[in-house]
Amino acid sequence: MKQWLKRMRKGYGKKLVSIHAWNAWIVVILAITGLILIGGFWRETLGIGRVWLKWLHIAVGLAMLAPVVYYLFLASKHWKQLRNKPWQKANTIIVLALLIGWLLSGIVLWQFKLAGPRWSNAALLIHDLLTWVGLPYIIYHSITRTRWLKDSTRRSIQVDESSAQIPRVSNPNIHSSNEDESETRNTPAAMSAMQKNQDFSKSSTTQLFEKPQPVYTRRAFIRSAVGLGLAVTLGPTFVSWVGKNLKFDNSIDSMLENDPNQMVPLPQPLSASSPPIGGGAEGHFRVYTVTPIPSFSNANWSFRVDGLVERAQIWNWEQFVKLTRTVQVSDFHCVTGWSVYKNTWEGIPLKHFLEKAGVKSGAHSIKFYSGDGVYTDAITLEQAQMDDIIIAVMHDGKPIPADLGGPVRLVIPQMYAYKSVKWLNRIEVIDSEHIGYWEERGYDKDAWLSGASQRFPDITGS
């Protein structure tokens, strides 16, 4: 084992350079793919390519384990070189903490179904925090430190001065033979020549190990430009992330203040949802869409139930808002890892619409249409019998803003949220299976939560 470690650590200075180079490329690829994955523009543009990109992100993230493990074999020798260099030690610890934090949180998000919502929620927050805080630092560090390590006079692994090549100086007055040296070495001329030779050697050695540096080098300028570019590029996104995750501007009230929907009259909450019977939502929603957020008014909004039904139904807003509603408390889980707990939803159970319309024989699935004109999804007729599926018009005693899928959205608590269609305006009963928007792009057709019991929670009516 000792011999193997010795071979592993041999020439480790060059190996550190290689590790930094690979690390830089890995982090750059992860940064680009990660930013694309969360970008709203790319969700529609990439189509199924977004799923492939997600798997590329996961594969490259797992590949980051290789340079981390490789470095750990070199760490003890590297650590000895960093004696009396506290800043370099701190830098090494920060970089390792970032890489290991990304790896662990990324693995939890990758295996979100096994980890469960609470672990996934925490992992997503950590992953995002490390990204916005650590990404500029880690890229800057990897790029600049790779260049720094290539300079043998600056890195911690120094060339042994005893093995350095010292220029040999010939003097015609000093003969090379031992006999001549013996005869002349004590003469004034010989002593003077030897002194000059020593002074020249010292000067040459100093020049080899102490290269004069300009006050602000081209390399320093490049490093500063890279750092400034990263700050300008990622800074605004980081500020936006902080604002959303610390709820500076992410409350339902702030969304409603800027809500583009103009529905009149506004729905009035039942006593069971104002104040919310669940105590109010815990967590915050992330706004993901595949199209620009649509807006609605009484003039352009309607709701209908049709297809294989005995009595097709259609409502305008004034009629729809008068329908008898019920209240339920449920958790809301996104397939990307975040969750909002104890939501108090108010609306009409899906079963009530189907019973009123009368489902014909031969029906197989219930298809849901979004008012954005693009998004659709479906569940089977059997799944549609669950009591907790609700056509929601209120959240925590307030109208649902457009950002969260209002004025009306579907909520299926026991499935991941891509099944809970936003801006719902049509329900169609069909005789075959329907592959929804994200299912066409690689998501599971059945979006059951891990451990979903398909239980029927109590629904409080009034």
pLDDT digits (tens, 9 = 90+) for 2-20: 666 666 666 667 777 788 7
Is it the case that residue 161 has pLDDT exceeding 80? no
pLDDT digits (tens, 9 = 90+) for 46-68: 666 777 888 899 899 999 888 88
Residues 6+ apart with CB under 8 A from 334: 286, 288, 416, 417, 418
Residues written for the chain: 462
- How many C-alpha atoms does 14 have within 13 Å on its Cβ side? 3
Split at pLDDT 50, 70, 90, the class of 72 is: confident
Higher-confidence residue: 6 or 295? 295
Q: Residue range 137-156: average pLDDT?
A: 60
In this structure, what token pair is assigned to residue 54?
């997600």
DSSP, residue by residue, 192-246: HHHHHHHHHHHHHHHHHH-----SS-HHHHHHHHHHHHHHHHHHHHHHHHHHHHT
In this structure, what token pair is assigned to residue 240?
């936006």
pLDDT averaged over the chain? 78
Residue 184: predicted pLDDT: 42
pLDDT digits (tens, 9 = 90+) for 204-253: 444 444 455 444 455 555 555 555 555 544 554 455 545 554 444 457 78
pLDDT digits (tens, 9 = 90+) for 406-443: 999 999 999 999 999 999 999 999 999 999 999 988 88
CA-based nearest residue to 61, from 98, 27, 11: 27
Higher-confidence residue: 297 or 145? 297
pLDDT digits (tens, 9 = 90+) for 185-196: 455 554 554 555
Paired residues of 368 in beta bridges: 377, 427
Instruction: Give the whole-angstrom CA distance, residue 235 versus residue 174.
Output: 67
Higher-confidence residue: 459 or 454? 454
pTM exceeds 0.75: no
Split at pLDDT 50, 70, 90, the class of 27 is: confident
Q: Torsion-angle region of residue 396: left (phi > 0), alpha (psi -120 to 50) or beta? A: left
Higher-confidence residue: 40 or 164? 40
Judge residue 161's burial from the number of C-beta atoms within 10 Å of its C-beta, 0-12 exposed, 13-18 middle, 19 or more buried. exposed
Instruction: Give the whole-angstrom CA distance, residue 134 versus residue 136.
Output: 6
Q: Which helix (H) or strand (E) holds 306?
A: strand 303-307
Is it the case that residue 291 has pLDDT exceeding 80? yes
